[in-house]
Amino acid sequence: MMYGRYTQELGVYAKEEAARLRESGQRRSVSDRSRTLDLLEYDKGRCAKCRRSGYPYVLEAPAQDFISVCTVRCQKFLISRVGEDWIFLILLGLLMALVSWVVDFCIAICLQAQKWMYGGLDSNVFLQYLAWVTYPVVLITFSAGFTQILAPQAVGSGIPEMKTILRGVVLKEYLTFKTFVAKVIGLTCALGSGMPLGKEGPFVHIASLCAALLSKFMSLFGGIYENESRNIEMLAAACAVGVGCCFAAPIGGVLFSIEVTSTFFAVRNYWRGFFAATFSAFIFRVLAVWNRDEETITALFKTRFRLDFPFDLQELPAFAVIGIASGFGGALFVYLNRLIVQFMRKQKVINKFLMKKRLLYPALVTLVLSTLTFPPGFGQFMAGKLTQKEALVTLLDNRTWAKQGIAEEFDYIGNAQAWRHPQVNVFVTLVLFIVMKFWMSALAITIPVPSGAFMPVFVIGAAFGRLVGESMAAWFPDGINTDGTIYPIVPGGYAVVGAAALSGAVTHTVSTAVIVFELTGQISHILPVMIAVILANAVAQSLQPSLYDSIIRIKKLPYLPELGWGHHEKYNIRVEDIMVRDVRYITLNCCYRDLHNVLLTGQLKTLALVESAESMILLGSIERAQLQSLLSQQLGRARRLQYIRERAVEEKKRLSIVLDPASDDNGSQRTSQEVRFQISTEESSFSPTRPVPHKPLKPALKRPSVVERPTELPTSPHDHSGIALKNLFCSSPDTEALEDDGDVEDDMTIREIAEWEERQLDEQVNFNNCKIDPAPFQLVERTSLHKTHTIFSLLGLDHAYVTSIGRLIGVVSLKELRKAIEGSVTVKGVKVRPPLASFRDSGTSSSENETTELHKLWDRHKSMSLPRESTPSESEEKSQ
């Protein structure tokens, strides 16, 4: 399906250009450059001049015109450069760096304001509490309300949606200016509230929004920006920029975005990501330098661990333990998050109440969370007064907090003091922090505001690492090394390892290791970090899907699950085991009635076109919409009126035959042939580039009373089916057709119409003006599941036909593939399941429901509004 399609405009344009270029002959070097320019919108006014100056060697223009020609050429040259990738990437990087910096700046101001309020009111604890709690509640509520009103698509992380978009699905509403504004402002408010939320996921989305809008803007200057595959490539680069400018981590950004959003990555796009992310990270940090925050460009969370002996070999088991524990922790986090969402959905009473008062849920959650962190209250046991950033800085600190287990000796300065409590050990503080933050973060990211989960998880991981590190330091006060020199243990290193491991486990990525190096500016702990991250991934991936995949499932976005860590069964399952053998097809010589029946019974987006029912040779596939328009054309009022006109002409002729017997009866035959021919040329110019008008469905959908009818149809197909069909599929004929054919009167009775339609239905379908995908993807019945998965994800397929020497024998769609991969398919009586799938499945009880929904969701050509919490009726239906 994918390869039969092409970007319409560009194709036509290129053809025209090619024809023009051929004329202009050897004047190629110039025309090549000017080619992209001739559609410049801003040139519209001075079109005549440009057209001449585009071929400057034709210097029939007078000499004084020469200078103006030159300037126009220069201008054109400069503008043509706008089409270059690197200009786009630089602009994107610059823009995102500015956005990131401004957002950071605003967040910092918000947080300072809270601190200032809290500090100023220290005379009265109740007032302090009120200030501490009200501030975030207001901000979060505003954020939730604002995004809800402006663009509900801006809610959440955005990475799951980007993954879906890069998979080839068009979610147009997700890349609009409205969404951009909602996301940026909503995110700033949400993070300014001090809730455990992250900015990294939303930044991936914001960067993609930026890229999409920039593309749209730049397309005013050059045609290349209208190319679809180029835009997808640019979106992939934008994702890298998003992470890159968020953490000032260009390499980690590129890798993380690849891991999180792509299944197959084109290495030729690599440099785009690196280029844009580096530039963005550079500008982001330069802004900090110019703002006198920093002396020069350094890492965001700089650490100062010793370089010559970062860790002992014998500490490696401790790092491995961190990795494995983080793996379990990460899986638990994803599970917990999904559990909360599903709990909220299932509780009908709560659900209904919350749906009515949409801002109540965010406000309630914020209230609970900020109450718990209130520093004079429970917050004192979990460093509640520290912001996320401050907490991370203290956790990555160079010094050891618990020297020989005696917390008192610890030299607390600045923010690190928050971790000390007069009564309680620093270990207890850390444990409480980890436990509380864990569920608080899992809860917080369910609030419908723009927010990510990376940073909270990162901080929890750092705290866990710190805990292990401090324990190790307490256990081995003089270090482990036995060679004489004392190298004390560095708990900060453990924190780094823990942060990378837990965030890696939650997101199922390895590149968090690189992000950690770039964030801390030190790479000395590379081996422990890598070991921990890999172990965490191994554990987490075998227990739960990644957080983003989990959200994809929750939001019921169309997706294809990954093949797991070496499930061998995949190599032994064949397409023939999973394919649907009962394929719905139409034949080349079918009549409209067959079309009608096929359309009524099936729900598939595309239908196979075979040569004949006997040969079953696959010729191509046709979209449902195409068939509907074919049918509507055949039964449309326009055609019927023509028929009436024709009949009138015939009757006239018959009269004239009576008057003039010389004219033989060939006349009427010729007329009907002519008319037939006229129709086919009128509606199809025989060029496949012209889009067939898509009007049909819209007006029908506007009138719900008409839409109801087709369900009655199969019971009485011979009654008014034609009329009903017409009403279903046609562009409301009563209003449109009458304008053109005012000369003819529709004097047919309903009975006549029905008869006429019956006759029409028996005619053979004329596929001439139908857009057929002539090369749908084909598989062989013995292709392995592994290969099928590869092909589907490589090419972003929705379905593939299974053929045997040209004969269509089956079809495989994403649905079957998903079932097969998730292990619920039975291969010849044997149930194939990945070993740990049982645990995973328990969380996704609605999987059967989802898969049937897939084809409805999977719509490349129209913008799609996703089922979300915001549409109560729909989400309720699905959760049951």
Q: Which of residues 454-483 bind its own copies (CB under 8 A)?
A: 481, 483
Specify the pairing of strand 807-813 against strand 618-623.
unpaired
| 75/778 with CB nearer its own copies | 778
Tokens 């399952």 correspond to: 573
Residues 59-88 contacting its own copies, CB under 8 A? 83-86
Which among 42-50, 189-197, 421-429, 802-810 is the span making contact with its own copies, rule CB under 8 A? Answer: 802-810
| 184/622 with CB nearer its own copies | 622
Contact between 307 and its own copies per CB under 8 A: yes
**Exposure of 413 by Cβ count < 10 A (0-12 exposed, 13-18 middle, 19+ buried)?**
exposed
How far apart CA 813 and CA 808 sit, in angstroms, is: 14
| 163/555 with CB nearer its own copies | 163
Site size for its own copies, by CB under 8 A?
Answer: 118
How far apart CA 598 and CA 586 sit, in angstroms, is: 8
- Whether 773 and 861 have beta carbons less than 8 Å apart is answered as no
| 230/399 with CB nearer its own copies | 230
Contact between 780 and its own copies per CB under 8 A: yes
How far apart CA 200 and CA 475 sit, in angstroms, is: 36
Cα radius of gyration rounded to whole Å, the chain: 33
Task: Give 863's DSSP letter.
Answer: -
Residues 27-56 contacting its own copies, CB under 8 A? 28, 32, 36
Q: Residues near 234 by Cβ (< 8 Å), separated by ≥ 6? A: 88, 92, 211, 215, 272
| 521/872 with CB nearer its own copies | 521
Q: How far is the CB of 850 from its own copies (least distance, A)?
A: 22
How far apart CA 864 and CA 172 sit, in angstroms, is: 7
HEC string of 569-638?
HHHHCEHHHHCECCCCEEECCCEHHHHHHHHHHCCCCEEEEECCCCCCEEEEEEEHHHHHHHHHHHHCHH
Contact between 57 and its own copies per CB under 8 A: no
Q: Which two tokens stand for residue 407?
A: 């917390």
Contact between 264 and its own copies per CB under 8 A: yes
Residues in the chain: 880
Residues 221-240 contacting its own copies, CB under 8 A? 224, 227, 229-230
Among 131, 340, 598, 617, which residue sits at the site for its own copies (rule: CB under 8 A)? Answer: 617
- CA 67 from chain centre, in angstroms, equals 49
How far apart CA 289 and CA 850 sit, in angstroms, is: 50
Strands, E assignment, 761-831 = 772-773, 778-779, 799-804, 807-813, 826-827, 830-831
Contact between 9 and its own copies per CB under 8 A: no
End-to-end CA distance of the chain, in Å?
A: 34
Q: How far is the CB of 24 from its own copies (least distance, A)?
A: 9
Q: From residue 139 to residue 178, what is the string marking binding to its own copies with x (rule CB under 8 A)?
A: ----------------------------------------
How far apart CA 400 and CA 404 sit, in angstroms, is: 10
| 145/222 with CB nearer its own copies | 222
| 121/299 with CB nearer its own copies | 299
Burial track 118-141 (b if 16+ CB lie within 10 A, e otherwise): beebeeeeeebbebbbebbbebbb
Contact between 484 and its own copies per CB under 8 A: no
| 308/747 with CB nearer its own copies | 308
Residues 551-590 contacting its own copies, CB under 8 A? 562-563, 565-566, 568-569, 571-572, 574
Q: How far is the CB of 92 from its own copies (least distance, A)?
A: 14
Q: Cα separations (Å) of 254 from 259, 281, 716? A: 9, 11, 60
Q: How far is the CB of 517 from its own copies (least distance, A)?
A: 5
Contact between 219 and its own copies per CB under 8 A: no
| 385/574 with CB nearer its own copies | 574
Q: From residue 485 to residue 524, what is the string marking binding to its own copies with x (rule CB under 8 A)?
A: -------------------------x--xx--xx--xxxx
Among 180, 282, 548, 592, which residue sits at the site for its own copies (rule: CB under 8 A)? Answer: 282
Q: How far is the CB of 178 from its own copies (least distance, A)?
A: 29
User: Within 10 A of 306 (CB to CB), how many other CB atoms are there?
Assistant: 14
How far apart CA 318 and CA 90 sit, in angstroms, is: 43
Among 530, 598, 706, 836, which residue sits at the site for its own copies (rule: CB under 8 A)? Answer: 530
Contact between 296 and its own copies per CB under 8 A: yes
Specify the pairing of strand 826-827 against strand 830-831.
antiparallel
| 169/529 with CB nearer its own copies | 529
Q: What sign for the dihedral angle of Cα 413, 416, 422, 424?
A: negative
Tokens 């690599």 correspond to: 270
Which among 178-186, 348-356, 368-376, 527-535 is the span making contact with its own copies, rule CB under 8 A? Answer: 527-535
Q: How far is the CB of 265 from its own copies (least distance, A)?
A: 5
| 276/744 with CB nearer its own copies | 276
Which among 57-65, 439-447, 766-774, 816-824 is the span making contact with its own copies, rule CB under 8 A? Answer: 766-774
How far apart CA 94 and CA 72 sit, in angstroms, is: 28
Q: How far is the CB of 454 from its own copies (least distance, A)?
A: 18
Contact between 125 and its own copies per CB under 8 A: no
Q: How far is the CB of 683 from its own copies (least distance, A)?
A: 18
Which among 545-553, 662-670, 743-751, 784-792 is the span making contact with its own copies, rule CB under 8 A? Answer: 784-792
Q: Residues near 37 by Cβ (< 8 Å), separated by ≥ 6? A: 43, 50, 54, 76, 79, 80, 222
| 135/767 with CB nearer its own copies | 767
- How many CA atoms are closer than 13 Å to the CA of 151, on its beta-carbon side? 22
| 284/756 with CB nearer its own copies | 284
Q: From residue 648 to residue 687, what is the string marking binding to its own copies with x (rule CB under 8 A)?
A: ----------------------------------------
Q: How far is the CB of 43 from its own copies (least distance, A)?
A: 19
Q: How far is the CB of 520 from its own copies (least distance, A)?
A: 8
Among 298, 398, 589, 663, which residue sits at the site for its own copies (rule: CB under 8 A)? Answer: 298
- Whether 197 and 366 have beta carbons less than 8 Å apart is answered as no
| 260/730 with CB nearer its own copies | 260
- Whether 243 and 253 have beta carbons less than 8 Å apart is answered as yes
How far apart CA 447 and CA 443 sit, in angstroms, is: 7
Task: Give 693's DSSP letter.
Answer: P
Among 9, 65, 173, 259, which residue sits at the site for its own copies (rule: CB under 8 A)? Answer: 259
**Exposure of 594 by Cβ count < 10 A (0-12 exposed, 13-18 middle, 19+ buried)?**
middle
Which among 24-32, 129-137, 320-328, 715-723 is the span making contact with its own copies, rule CB under 8 A? Answer: 24-32
Q: How far is the CB of 115 from its own copies (least distance, A)?
A: 27
Residues 809-868 contacting its own copies, CB under 8 A? 827-831
Among 100, 188, 208, 278, which residue sits at the site for its own copies (rule: CB under 8 A)? Answer: 278
Q: How far is the CB of 281 from its own copies (least distance, A)?
A: 7
Among 73, 183, 205, 285, which residue sits at the site for its own copies (rule: CB under 8 A)? Answer: 285
Q: How far is the CB of 220 from its own copies (least distance, A)?
A: 16
